[in-house]
């Protein structure tokens, strides 16, 4: 009954040296690493990844941010991995995210919110295929 989720440590998290703390938290929770790669996204991949936000006023800024430097793309696996990681991440708006969560502990701004986690099994399948097309 293992489920997989795509997790990103976004360019702000990498630049601030938070990769280790994010990975430590998800490993401590019991999520297993299935794939990991540090890479800088092209605008094309970024627009595809965030396609559901294309009509939002912040879309251009979001694409600029997410392509601004290297990010760490991870696939994690475990029971209810999608919900489990979203609980670790906390609310999208870091000011509303509970202390003890990744965003609650490390971020202040909604765009620069350190991590991304897939929000449904359908998004996870789409995002994992986009980032790691070779993954079985």
Question: Looking at 4, 25, 49, 116, which residue is catalytic?
Answer: 116
For position 62 contacting ligand CMP by CB under 6 A, the verdict is yes
CA dihedral 24, 28, 30, 32 (to 10 degrees): 20
Element (H, E) at 128: helix 121-131
For position 67 contacting ligand CMP by CB under 6 A, the verdict is no
- Which two structure tokens, joined as six digits, stand for 71? 């990010």
**DSSP 8-state assignment for residue 98:** P
For position 107 contacting ligand CMP by CB under 6 A, the verdict is no
Element (H, E) at 58: none
116 is known as an active-site residue: yes
Rounded distance between C-alpha atoms, residue 119 and residue 73, angstroms: 15
Position among 21, 40, 92, 123 found at the interface with ligand CMP (CB under 6 A): 92
Segment interacting with ligand CMP (CB under 6 A) among 23-31, 68-76, 94-102, 105-113 = 105-113
Cβ proximity to ligand CMP: between 5 and 34 the closer is 5
Q: Is 92 annotated as a binding residue?
A: yes
For position 110 contacting ligand CMP by CB under 6 A, the verdict is yes
- Which two structure tokens, joined as six digits, stand for 95? 């000011």
């Amino acid at each position: 009954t293992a489920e997989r989720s795509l997790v990103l440590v976004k360019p702000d998290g990498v630049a601030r040296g938070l990769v280790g703390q994010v990975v430590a938290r998800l490993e401590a929770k019991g999520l297993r690493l299935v794939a990991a790669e540090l890479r800088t996204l092209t605008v094309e991949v970024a627009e595809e990844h965030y396609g559901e936000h294309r009509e939002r006023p912040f879309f251009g800024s979001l694409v600029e941010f997410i392509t601004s430097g290297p990010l760490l793309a991870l696939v994690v696996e475990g029971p209810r991995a999608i919900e489990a990681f979203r609980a670790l991440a906390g609310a999208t708006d870091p000011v509303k995210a509970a202390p003890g969560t990744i965003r609650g502990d490390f971020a202040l701004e909604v765009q620069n919110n350190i991590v991304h986690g897939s929000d449904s099994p359908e998004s996870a399948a789409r995002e994992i295929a986009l980032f790691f097309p070779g993954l079985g």
